[in-house]
Amino acid sequence: MEDAVASTFPELEEPKTPPLNVDGPTVNIQAILRADPIPTPRTLLDPPNYVPEMKPVEISRYFSQAFHKLEIEKMWSKVWQYAGWSHDIPNAGDTIVYRNVGQSVVVTRQRDGSLKAFRNSCLHRGIELCREDTTQDQFRCPYHAFTWGLDGSCKWLPAAWDFPQIDREKFTLPEVRVDEWNGFIFINMDDDARPLREYLGKMVDQWEDSGWDFSNRYRAVTVLKEMNCNWKAVLDAFIETLHVYATHPEAGFLTPDTDNQYDVWPDEPHFNRFHSINGFASPNLDPAPTEQEVLDAYTSVYLPEAYGAPEGVLGSDETARAALARLARKTYKERLGLDVDDMPVTEVLDGTEYMVFPNFIIWPSLANPLGYRFRPGKTPDTCTWETFIFLPFKGERPASGPVITLEEDQSFSDIAELGYVGPILQQDAVNLKYMQDGLKANASGEMVLARYQESRIRHYHQVIDDYLVR
């Protein structure tokens, strides 16, 4: 990876700005991945080495009401959106409500096991048919009791004699495109949209080839947080690791923030990814920590029972990465009953993250069983940030976990179900609290984005632009 970046950007040099390491990036990611004795997923060994055009990103799109309106009219009405977890509605009549940018959709499990999605609006006077996730055998309007079956067909009209204009055979709930992939339910408001499989492109092949299968995962918890900033500002924070050194200093040893592999494909508009390696120190640290210090930094924060214990001491000729992999395999076995000895280090230790355009992020690796979704608020200055934990299991599928809404004065650190992830997310939340005002105060009118490490941000902005000019 180091060689690929160097050949792409030979003119780039790190200035000497203490305490930064003047040598710049030091980790050859491809060499690390290929050195694993257990084969790494092939897709991670085939980086596209494509960097999107260095086109300026105007800051006003984060707070402009006109841009917000264009996104709703030309983008959100056309894209596939993650609407819910398939295993939350396993039985006939199980229903979820998905709301975004003024649209409300109900997705319900049919008696044959398939899914249907409908506009969540009574055809009489427009009230929402469902107000929350539920289980039911019909859709009954809470206002006047107009009733439809799970398949959307009209079942009953109050005072039917007074609606001579209604043909019950045609008085069916308008359907919305719906599809499933890997346990994730997607909807699309555009009847003419391309199929989900085509929309996701090579991403599906990459997951299938890598064995990333969420049929053995369950949704352990969902945490919602209303944010006073634009949805794109929150998304930006989770598709680069350049911020780790300053925002997550306790992880500075663990994440070589300037050396993660960022993958963008020129012919794939609807996804991109990064791969974040573990077991190496950030090259921004000067002097560089020892291998034992890297290991100690990890165990002291994420595995305190190993910190200072014999198992937390490097073995003869053992690297910090090898030791972390050893501890990770042991932890998966003891805590989850999972035998991962045959899995590559990338699966049990590293973080592979995919972004599905426009607002869904999912990590296929065991090491970071996370997902995120970012939905716009009623104005460009607000949004809803959702965090999901998808844990592996053996045997019978556990029930899905709770959906927790954080109040304004609550911290992610307060949510026990998030574990060590909670304090990390809280650090991001503190930064994001000040993003919107800071964006509006910017005098340049443009974001200054890194050519490589923030390439995913430029990529999705270019895709937004493509939708807006259609």
Q: In CATH, what number is assigned to the domain containing residue 25?
A: 3.90.380
What pairs with residue 107 in β-bridges?
A: 96, 117
Q: pLDDT band at residue 20, thresholds of 50, 70 and 90?
A: very low
Q: Token digits for 230?
A: 């634009």
3-state SS assignment for residue 100:
strand
User: Using CA atoms, how far apart are residues 267 and 202, in angstroms rounded to an integer?
Assistant: 10
Residue 64: which pLDDT band, with cuts at 50, 70 and 90? very high
Choosing from 169, 192, 215, the residue where a domain stops is 192
What is the tens place of the pLDDT at every residue in 179-207?
A: 999 999 999 999 999 999 999 999 999 99
Contacts 24+ apart (CB under 8 A), 427-430: 427/247, 427/248, 428/237, 428/238, 428/247, 429/225, 429/227
Angle between helices 320-336 and 291-302 (to 10 degrees): 20
CA 52 to chain centre: 21
Domain end position, chosen among 170, 192, 214: 192
* For the chain, percent of residues with pLDDT exceeding 90: 82
Which residue, 165, 192, 219, sits at the end of a domain?
A: 192
Q: What is the pLDDT of residues 274-315, one digit of tens each?
A: 999 999 888 778 888 999 999 998 898 889 999 999 999 999
Q: Is residue 67 part of a domain?
A: no
d(CA 332, CA 324): 12
Mean pLDDT of 38-55: 93
Look at residue 64 and tell me if it is in a domain.
Answer: no
174 and 308 part of one domain? no
The whole-angstrom distance between residue 113's C-alpha and the CA centroid of its chain comes to 27
Structure confidence at residue 26 (pLDDT): 59
- Is the residue at 73 inside a domain? no
Task: Answer yes or no: are the C-beta atoms of 259 and 30 closer than 8 Å.
Answer: no
Instruction: Answer whether residue 89 shows pLDDT above 60.
Output: yes
* Domain ranges, residue 296: 2-58+205-468
**Phi–psi pair at 175, nearest 5 degrees:** -85, 155
Count structural domains, the chain: 2
Calculate the CA 170 to chain-centre distance: 39
Residue 178 pLDDT > 80: yes
Residues 303 and 423 in one domain: yes
Do residues 129 and 174 lie in contact, with contact meaning Cβ atoms separated by under 8 Å?
no
Per-residue pLDDT tens digits for 209-263: 999 999 999 999 999 999 999 999 999 999 999 898 889 887 766 777 777 899 9
